[in-house]
Amino acid sequence: MEKENNIALSSAGTSRVRQRKRSNEVIPEPSKPNGGTLLVDDRNKYKSMWIQTYSTVWMIGGFALVVYMGHLYITAMVVVIQIFMAKELFNLLRKGHEDEHLPGFRLLNWHFFFTAMLFVYGRLLSQPLVNSVTPEKFLYQFVSSLIKYQMAICYFLYIAGFMWFILTLKKNMYKYQFRQYAWTHMILIVVFTQSSFTVANIFKGIFWFLLPASLIVINDIFAYVVGFFFGRTPLIKLSPKKTWEGFIGASVTTMISAFVLANILGQFQWLTCPRKDLSTGWLQCDPGPLFKREYYTLPGWISQWFPWKEISILPVQWHALCLGLFASIIAPFGGFFASGFKRAFKIKDFGDSIPGHGGITDRMDCQMVMAVFAYIYHQSFIVREGISVEMILDQVLTKLTFEEQQTLLTKLGQILQDRLGHS
């Protein structure tokens, strides 16, 4: 039941990788039998360090490459990570004995996975998809009917799975089958919620995917490092290796790096421009007021010590501070949730795909919480640049046919009349 746990894997991977690189310290072994030891007191530190460093380096390299290649490739990476995560989780609470009596049950899981994929990505990518196929008439018709009937198609696929489930209920296995059914739903909800928000973030601009992910990474690393050197007071019973010193140190570092990173990342158009279609070429756009420098004159005493008279701050850096605050204080709860879950069901790790790190879900637990927050924050507080009458008029005139424009006019007229009629 990790509701908030599945967020962009690459970020998690990257963060862990950087962590290993920067810190050169031993990575804490996931859950030792004598679980209560703090890292400071841990003597057996250097054993798995090399394996972890190696896999971290590979993950970070792959991640950087994918970010360089662009939005579509990042989405593909998210999808791949999602499949692996779902696979890990599906296998988790399965009991081999019962499964022998139920052939085709695993297939049902993947059927629901496919339906969820169609539904979520259909909705997310419908606008970019439409934008990509406008020139050709036939394909456009095909794609728009697909989008129009998307809900009906997904619903019928789901109902088919539902009926299949009911028809394969076997006497004496009812409880197990219902449990698995509920578990499948929970997994799919967790995996797809966060991945859909991640993909939505990506298309708003890689910045909104990269920054939150990096913040989580930095938070993890510094919690580890500070805990390594100064950790004394345990933070929470669920995760005995975490300490208050690590937590606070990491919070401070995360906030500072949020401010700095936002400045650095905000300079690249490749990262800040939203992607309107499914192309892979270079991006050019007007980044909007958030990414335009504002100059603040420093007070006299500072400019005596430092050589600058004024500093330039991108307005987005203030937003980054809010993201940093969330990343340091609330996102770790994703990790606590995962720890509690593992204790509850007596599991050591979610899987073993990544050497030295455990499974993919282990890496993604905090990332998931963060991606959802980043999306919601963006929707609510980032004023969309330049949405104006001119822009929408432009859209109307270029995207719709003449008849559609007239339909729009009539509908809009009706709505406005309704509204005015009330006042």
Partner 1 sequence: MWIRACSSLWMLGGFLLIIYLGHLYILAMVVVIQIFMASELFNLLRRAHEDKRLPGFRILNWHFYFTAMLFVYGRILSHQLVNTVTSDKIFYKLVSKLIKYQMVICYFLYIAGVMWFILTLKKKMYKYQFGQFAWTHMILIVVFTQSAFTVANIFEGIFWFLLPASLIAVNDVAAYFFGFFFGKTPLIKLSPKKTWEGFIGASVVTTISAFVLANVFGHFQWLTCPRKDLSTGWLLCDPGPLFKPEYYPLPGWLSRWVLPWKEVAILPVQWHALCLSLFASSIAPFGGFFASGFKRAFKIKDFGDSIPGHGGFTDRMDCQMVMAVFAYIYHQSFVVPQDYTVEMIINEILRSLTLEEQQILYTKLGQILQERMENSLHFFSLG
Query: Scanning residues 130 to 149, which ones bind partner 1 (CB under 8 A)?
Result: 130, 144, 147-149
- Helices 71-92 + 360-381 axis angle, to 10: 130
Decide: is 175 part of the binding site for partner 1 (CB under 8 A). Answer: yes
Instruction: Give the shortest CB-276-to-partner 1 separation in angstroms.
Output: 13
Pick from 139, 169, 252, 285: which binds partner 1 (CB under 8 A)?
Answer: 169
Cα angle at 10 between 320 and 113, to 5 degrees?
110
Residue 197 has a CB neighbour count (10 Å cut-off) of: 26
Cβ proximity to partner 1, 266 vs 334, nearer residue:
334
Pick from 50, 68, 229, 345: which binds partner 1 (CB under 8 A)?
Answer: 345
Q: Of 397-416, which residues contact partner 1 (CB under 8 A)?
A: 397, 399-400, 402, 404-409, 411-413, 415-416
User: Using CA of residue 252, residue 253, residue 258, residue 259, what is the dihedral sign?
Assistant: positive
Decide: is 297 part of the binding site for partner 1 (CB under 8 A). Answer: no
Pick from 162, 229, 308, 318: which binds partner 1 (CB under 8 A)?
Answer: 162
For 61-88, the DSSP string reads HHHHHHHHH-HHHHHHHHHHHHHHHHHH
Instruction: Give the shortest CB-158-to-partner 1 separation in angstroms.
Output: 9
Long-range contacts of 105-114, Cβ-Cβ distance < 8 Å, separation of 24 or more: 105/168, 105/177, 105/180, 108/161, 108/164, 108/165, 108/168, 108/184, 109/180, 109/184, 111/157, 111/160, 111/161, 111/164, 112/158, 112/161, 112/184, 112/185, 112/188, 113/83, 113/86, 113/188, 114/157
Instruction: Give the shortest CB-131-to-partner 1 separation in angstroms.
Output: 10
Decide: is 341 part of the binding site for partner 1 (CB under 8 A). Answer: yes
Q: Of 81-140, which residues contact partner 1 (CB under 8 A)?
A: 126-127, 130
Cβ proximity to partner 1, 297 vs 405, nearer residue:
405
Decide: is 208 part of the binding site for partner 1 (CB under 8 A). Answer: no
Report the distance separating Cα 225 and Cα 54, nearest Å: 19
Size of the site for partner 1 (CB under 8 A): 74
Q: Tell me the one-letter amino acid at 55.
A: S
Pick from 33, 138, 306, 344: which binds partner 1 (CB under 8 A)?
Answer: 344
What are the two backbone dihedrals, phi and then psi, of residue 179, each rounded to the nearest 5 degrees? -60, -45
Decide: is 343 part of the binding site for partner 1 (CB under 8 A). Answer: yes
Contact indicator for 72, 280 with CB cutoff of 8 Å: yes
If you ran DSSP here, which 8-state letter would residue 383 be given? P
Q: Which two tokens stand for residue 360?
A: 């993919």
Q: Of 230-259, which residues contact partner 1 (CB under 8 A)?
A: 237-238
Report the distance separating Cα 360 and Cα 338, nearest Å: 12
Q: Of 347-376, which residues contact partner 1 (CB under 8 A)?
A: 369, 372-373, 376
Decide: is 178 part of the binding site for partner 1 (CB under 8 A). Answer: yes
Report the distance separating Cα 147 and Cα 126, nearest Å: 7
Decide: is 171 part of the binding site for partner 1 (CB under 8 A). Answer: yes
Cβ proximity to partner 1, 234 vs 340, nearer residue:
340
Instruction: Give the shortest CB-166-to-partner 1 separation in angstroms.
Output: 5
Report the distance separating Cα 167 and Cα 156, nearest Å: 16
Instruction: Give the shortest CB-123-to-partner 1 separation in angstroms.
Output: 12
Cβ proximity to partner 1, 161 vs 249, nearer residue:
161
Cβ proximity to partner 1, 97 vs 419, nearer residue:
419
